[in-house]
Structure 1
Amino acid sequence: MSRSSPFRSPATTAAPSNLTIEQLFAHFQTNMTKLATRLDEIHELVTGHSKEHLTVAEVAEMTGRSAYTVRRWISDGRLKASRIVDTGERGRLLIHREELHRLIGAGRGANL
């Protein structure tokens, strides 16, 4: 049984050149609806496999800030993180995804 890839572009058709503006707009709307449906399917696939904890670098990239800023938020108590020992000299900081959502809700995320 073959399963189609969710990352294939939706089937679109070229609009004939002899259509009126209204017909072209309707054609455009149909293709946009197909695209939006595929994007929703991809979003469901991606969010279903999301990590529960993120690294400082990942949070920095997702919020549009530097890793230094994220570490400062942690030391200032604005962002909660867990230090995982046995992963280097000082350990590794991990931020729970819920903390990221709380941070973005507070207006500190630039790229989301």
Structure 2
Amino acid sequence: MSEPTFLILTALAATPQHGYGVIEDVRQISDGQVRLRAGTLYAVLDRLRADGLIEVDREEVVQSRLRRYYRLTALGERSLTEQTARLRRNASAAAARLRRTDLRPQEGVA
């Protein structure tokens, strides 16, 4: 799963959101490191809907424009949970290896 996809699912885990809300939430979650463009977001949302990971929660018209809210499905929650566990395992493995590296004497130091 790509980082933007993971972050979009994470944004939708708390509450149903519309596109702009997802864009802003992903920016906040990633501490500004991931900035989604609308075209990218809606392409990912379409794929996630086709895969059954999200669904439309509701639609409303705001200032003559349709605002569609998305939410995670049960499958989406399971997928996000599994991906979160996988990332934790990978981060733990990396941290363990870095700790081992810190214990080794540095070259050229007596």
TM-score of the two chains, using structure 1 as the length reference: 0.31
| Structure possessing the higher radius of gyration over alpha carbons | 1
* Higher relative contact order, chain-length normalized (CA < 8 Å, sep 6+): 2
Greater share of residues in strand: 2
